[in-house]
Structure 1
Amino acid sequence: MIKNLDTAYKVQGIIGILVVVFYTTQGQALASGYGFFVGLVNVAMLQWTFARANKKAAEDPKAGMLILYTSAVIRFILLAVLFVLGLSYLDQSEAFPVIITFVLMQIGQLFNLKGKRRLTD
């Protein structure tokens, strides 16, 4: 399974694990772990959507783009709900590790754009 993952997803996972380990030493493992979970959900949905869109685009390019646009809206709503649920459960002081872990994991997605002219390449 690990061999099939793209470099960008490996980088995101490594970044997430390193941030969780750092925040574990600070006593905020649960908050950072939740940020890691939200990041993994986003990455998994993004990977699944791109695979689905590429498959559909072979038949109908407009349908492939529609899948990408719909996915963006769904992921935005899902992430908002996950953040609200998680941050309402955690203490107010634990919000920062959740956000930082998620954001740093998403920076790893830049490695996925390397050598591409379009997002769907």
Structure 2
Amino acid sequence: MQTNILRPFVIQGFIGVIALSVFAYYGHPLSSLYGVIIGLANVAMLAFTFERANKKAALDPKGGILVLYMSAVIRFVLLAVLFVIGLALLKLEPMPMVVTFVLMTIGQMFNLQGKRRLTD
């Protein structure tokens, strides 16, 4: 992986480990771990999509935008399904799972520092 692709995984992984440690202390490690898994799945899809959109945009700029729009829809559905699996099927606690995911997602802002465009 390139450094710019690896950076969000490192930042969000670090935030996820901190959140996991805090929630493990309070007795909810599995819920928080599932939140970490959802967060990493989200960032993996995002990194893959940006790479694919950049390649597509070199040939067709509108095609690159279409890839990004489709990715947003697919990620939304995937995240909804993963949360439903965690809450309904695995019977995990909602608060640690959601808070861990949200903190990891907020961590994406650290990856955007110094960029003028989202795809830089």
Shift of 1:113: 1.6
Shift of 1:26: 1.1
Cα deviation code 1:4-32 (max 9, x no counterpart): 64433311110001101111111101100
How many residue pairs match? The answer is 120
Q: Secondary structure at the match of 2:88?
A: helix
Partners of 1:89 and 1:96 in 2: CA distance: 16
Between 1 and 2, higher relative CO (CA 8 Å, sep ≥ 6) is seen in 1
Structure 1 regions of 5+ residues with no counterpart?
none
Residues 31 and 94, structure 2, Cα contact 8 Å, conserved in 1: yes
Partners of 1:29 and 1:9 in 2: CA distance: 20
Aligned to 1:22: 22
Asked if residue 8 in structure 1 is aligned to residue 8 in structure 2, the reply is: yes
Partners of 1:111 and 1:60 in 2: CA distance: 29
Q: CA RMSD in A?
A: 1.8
Residues 57 and 65, structure 2, Cα contact 8 Å, conserved in 1: yes
Calculate percent identity across the aligned residue pairs.
Answer: 58
Shift of 1:54: 0.6
